[in-house]
Each structure stands twice: as structure tokens, then as C-alpha cells.
Chain A
Amino acid sequence: MQQVFKRPASLMDVQTHFCPGCQHGTIHRIVAEALDEHGLRDRTIGCASVGCSVFLYSYFDIDVVESPHGRASAVATGVKRARPESIVFTYQGDGDLAAIGTSEIIHAANRGEDITVIFVNNTTYGMTGGQMAPTTLVGQKTSTTPYGRNQSKDGAPLKMAELLSNLDGVAFSARVAVNDPRNLIDARKQISRAFRYQAEGKGFSFIEALSACPTNWGMNPLQANARVGAELIPYFPVGVFKNVHNL
């Protein structure tokens, strides 16, 4: 009998703490598959962030450095400069990367650090209980926008994949989703590509992964997954925004 589906070696055989219907687990898996595919695991160092992604080291069977809130790309810069032979990636949420860590991500990207950033956008602060994120959609109700995000007061959601693609230091930038088989297959392709950029020393690669947060969206998993397609993707289109070496 042939085994056609198994746990990626870069992931540990443990149960995650993620809520039912949360897509962090799926995104973890795809990242691990990419590390396996390129044979990178034994030289990979992950930089965990603060938020639901904080337990990176409990799920990835790799060495990990914890970073202060928002600072993962600065920590990753230090790691990569100290161990240039390593594969270094950060895994950050929307509050972490696009609010408190905006300065660090912009400048790490602009320096063209040879790292890979996995940015999970679920339009809310998951760990702290569903407050407004910089990516919360206009009109979206959160615990700190009980009447819905008001663009005139709160601004419009940040489109990080597009924004970063405008920087000269960025080699690859793409937005992916894991809400349906077609998007999932594409997500695997883009995340694999992002790590290939780094493995080949070709520069800064950025993946924005749209993710469902049923708990904080007040939905069941199916409804939340449906919202990704119905509301998130129309505002945050999936696609490749930059691919300078056409990998």
C-alpha cells in the first residue's frame, strides 16, 4: 500500500491549540511542506511573533527565536546576519506585522534582507480577543469597533502585500488564501516559491496568507471560511504582486 498523505517532517506530531476552523494550522502545514520540499529544515530558524502564532516552536520541529511583539523581522535580520547560511523566516499576524511592527517590516523589506516573511491576515487580533486589526475591513464589527470599522476614524485596511511590493528591496510578494482547493494549491506554490527565493539567495520574500478566525468573527468554521471568499478576497485579492526573478 502506498502512503499518499502524511505529516510533513518539519511539523511535530502534536495537537495545536488553534480553534476549530482556524486556518493557522493549514498555513503551518504548507510552510512545513515547503521546508521539506526544499530540504531546508535542518538549517531553518523560525522567528515567532506575539499573538496566536506565538507557539511556533510547539508545532514546528525547528529551532525558534521568540520575538517581541512586532519585532520579528528585526530579530530575523539579526539572526540572518549572524548565521547567513541559515534559512530564516518570520511568522507574524496582522496586529504584529501591520500595526506595532510596521516600521520593522518596512525596513527589513527595504534592506532586502534575505529572509521569508509569512504574514497571516485574519482581519483581527485573535489572541487578545478580537479587537480591530490594521486589516479589519470597513464596517467589520470587532470588540473595539462595536459599530463596525469606520473608515473616516479608523482608516482603511492596509494591503501589505501590495504595499511591500513597491519597495525595491522586495524580490517576491504574493497574497494567498486557503479557503478552497484552487487557492490552497496556489498557496502551496507561492509559499514554496518564497522559500526558494531565500534558498537561492535571491532576496526578501513575502507571503500574505488570508486566514479565517471563526471564534472572533462570531461564525462557525464553514461560515468563516465562506467569508474569506465573499468578503476578504474581494478587498485583498490573491495573486503575485512581485516576482523579480520569475522563479
Chain B
Amino acid sequence: MQARKFVKGNEAVAMAAIEAGCRHYFGYPITPQSDIPEYLAREFPALGGEFIQAESEIASINMLLGASACGVRAMTSSSGPGISLKQEGISYMAGSELPGVIVDICRQGPGLGGIDASQADYFQATRGGGHGGYRIIVLAPASVQEMYDLTMLAFDLSDIYRMPAMVFADAVIGQMKEAIIPNPRPAATLPAKDWVVRGRKEGTEQRVVKSLKLGDGEMEAFHWQMHERYHELQEKESRWEEFETADATLVVTAFGSAARIAKSAVMAAREAGMKVGLLRPITLFPFPAKAYHDLTGRCRKILDIELSTGQMIDDVRLSVQPGTEIDFYGRPPGAGSLPTPEEIFEQIKNALLIFTNLSPFTRF
């Protein structure tokens, strides 16, 4: 067995990027993700990596765009206010079909907000975030080990599907330390990057990386092509974790840090003899709709828990079978606003008590 390493979530991201072959990082300091650039600034020189602390998040995402157009694995990282600034570049990358990894260690907003954990940027991450109607791959780690493993996956998926991929975590997962196994980069079949700019050699075709599409029907065709790709992602890359769902009457659903907290509550509920399970989406885009659909044929109710007033719940509603009852418990972000397992356990008890759309006879 490989030795475990006791590291912060943010450090695990940086370690995984190195293992995944990333040697180009462009970023700008912002709490709570600065451990990532700090780690890479320290480790890159010995590895021949290029680290730039850019003048802004706008510049750093555009450096990522340029490096990615050359075919190298490149990464940037930030948090809410910085991710907002990066949206322009992310849109151009989506339009130019460029891979690239963006790490978002969420904090609170809107505006300057605060630096504690939040899940209120779910819409920003999963709806594309910038202009033009695109999506990006969004992975939601719930442990330091997953910060490591999903960062490597983000590079692979991004290369395979030629679109930006986001590692979407928050201050809890970024700042906590756990013992991880620094797995080697997984084997993946990656397509040849036959589109990268490299200098047009005599006898080779000119290569252009661009998002401008002015030909008749060209943009429409591109949109349908993207649509197909998103569909393919949905089919092939949806990932989720199910815990004790087989006989569950109530299924708690949450992602990232909220799922970690919820899982302890679910364990406590099981110990108390309640038939409760957990469904945790690992990919937020593609959203594991099938898991919800299949599950809601078996369970009676979903309890959605988020560190916001409810965003993922829209995707849950779109995924469950008609008539499924959905409860929601939200803790919008803020200092001292993290829910505890004890608190969620109370919500589980409430949800089991009241099945509002069932007759009183089916109560239990």
C-alpha cells in the first residue's frame, strides 16, 4: 500500500495537477484557494513548470486559453469573485473547444461576500457562467482524496471532450486536512490533439483556434454539436455515490461538503433504525439525472440539503419521477452557518414524519 499523505484539500488539488502532467498554472490570489498557487509556485521550478501570478483573474484565464491552444495541460484556480471575472475567458474557451481545468474553491457572495464555505455558486458553475449558451464539466469533491482524484479526472475529461472542466469545492473541502493516497495518474485513452497551434510548417495545414463563427449555419451547427457532446457526457460520465439507498424510504441528497455532513446524519439515522439513504452527485454537470430517476421509483421522498437557499434542487426536480415529494433544507452561507450532522438528523426525522402528499394511513 502506498503511504498516505496528510494534506489540505487545496494541496491535494495541486499535487494531483502535477501528477496529471499539468506544468502550466496561471492564477491570482484569493481566499480560500491560495494554497494552490502557493504549492505550485514552490514545486514547479524543479519540475520545469511555468507558474505565473497574473495581474488579474481575467489575465490568468486568458493565459490558460493561450497555453491550452498549444496543447499543454494547464490550470487556473480561484473563488467566487475571481470566477466571475474568468467567465469571459471560459466562454471563449468553450466556443473555441479548448480544454483546461478551473478550480473553484467557493466562498460566499454576492459581491465580496465572505470567505467561509458556500454552495451558492452552483448555478454559476453548472449553467456555463458566461455568455453564449454552453456548459462545462463540473466535478464536486467531498473529501481531500476526491480533491486529488477528481482533479486528475478533470484533466482527462477536459481533454477527451475538448471543453473546460471545473473542480467545484468550497472552503470546507479546500481547507480541511485528511490522509490521502496519492494515486498515480489513471490510464486514459486521450484523443490526439491534432488541432493545437504550433507554427505552420511547410506542407501542413494552417491551424486556427477561434470561437468566431460567421458562416451561414456554422454557429447553429456548432450549438447542436455541443448539445450532442453534453448528451454524450450525460450518458457516459455521470457519476454519483449512493449510500444505503436500497431499502430507503427517504433519500437525502447533497453534494460536496454538505454531503459529507449529511452522510454522518444518515449514518446516525440508520443506527436509530430509520430507512434513510444518501445520494451524492459527484458530477454536477453532467447531472446524474438517471440516478434520481431510478431511485425515485423506489423511495418515497427526497430531502435536498444545500449551503444555499436551493439551487441544485432545480436539477433534482427535473430528474425525479413525477409525483416524488422533495423536501429542502438550506443553510445559506455565512460565518458560523455550517449545518451540523445533529441538525440534519433533526431534518431527517421531520421529513420522515410528514409525507404531505400521502394519505395519513401511509404515515409512519
Contact = CB atoms under 8 A, between A and B. Distances in A.
Chain A–chain B contact at Cβ < 8 A? yes
Interface of A: 41-45, 47-48, 54, 57, 61-68, 71, 74-83, 86-87, 103-104, 106-107, 111
B313 interface: no
Interface string B15-59: 000000000101000000000000000000000001010111011
B309 interface: no
B24 to A, nearest CB: 6
Contacts of B59: 71, 74, 77, 103-104, 107
Interface in B50-83: 50, 52, 54-56, 58-60, 62-72, 74
B67 A62 contact: no
B208 A78 contact: no
B58 A82 contact: no
Contacts of B88: 68, 71
Given A67-B62, A68-B88, A81 B69 contact: no
Interface string B184-208: 0000000000000111111000111
Interface residues of B, number: 39
A66 B66 contact: no
Given A62-B200, A65-B209, A66-B209, A78 B56 contact: no
B208 A64 contact: yes
A74 B63 contact: yes
Contacts of A65: 65-66, 69, 197, 208-210
A82 B96 CA distance: 18
Given A63-B198, A68-B89, A47 B66 contact: yes
Contacts of A42: 199-202
Contacts of B209: 64-66
A26 B45 CA distance: 43
Contacts of B197: 45, 63-65, 79
A54 B199 CA distance: 19
24 contacts: A42-B200, A42-B201, A42-B202, A45-B70, A45-B198, A48-B210, A57-B206, A61-B206, A63-B206, A63-B208, A64-B207, A68-B88, A68-B89, A71-B62, A71-B89, A74-B59, A78-B67, A81-B52, A82-B70, A83-B198, A87-B199, A103-B56, A106-B55, A107-B54
B66 A76 contact: yes
B24 A81 contact: yes
B57 to A, nearest CB: 11
Contact of B66 (A61, A74, A87, A106): A74
A66 B58 contact: no
A78 B26 contact: yes
Nearest to B50: A81
Nearest to B197: A63
B200 A61 contact: yes
Contact of B50 (A45, A71, A82): A82
Contacts of A78: 24, 26, 62-70, 74
Which residue of B24, B202, B212 has the most chain A CB atoms within 10 A of its CB atom? B212
A76 B198 CA distance: 13
A106 B212 CA distance: 26
A65 B65 CA distance: 9
Contact of B72 (A71, A75, A82, A104): A82
Contacts of B65: 65, 67-68, 71, 75, 78
B234 interface: no
A41 B204 CA distance: 12
Given A64-B197, A71-B65, A103-B55, 5 more contacts: A57-B208, A65-B197, A67-B62, A78-B24, A78-B65
Contact of B62 (A48, A83, A87, A104): A104
B311 interface: no
B122 interface: no
A35 to B, nearest CB: 11
Given A62-B200, A67-B65, A83-B70, A77 B52 contact: yes
A44 B56 CA distance: 27
A81 B75 CA distance: 13
Contacts of A63: 197-200, 206-208
B211 interface: yes
Contacts of A111: 52
Contact of B210 (A57, A76, A77, A82): A57
A105 B211 CA distance: 22
Nearest first, the 3 A-B pairs at minimum CB distance are A78-B66, A66-B210, A78-B63
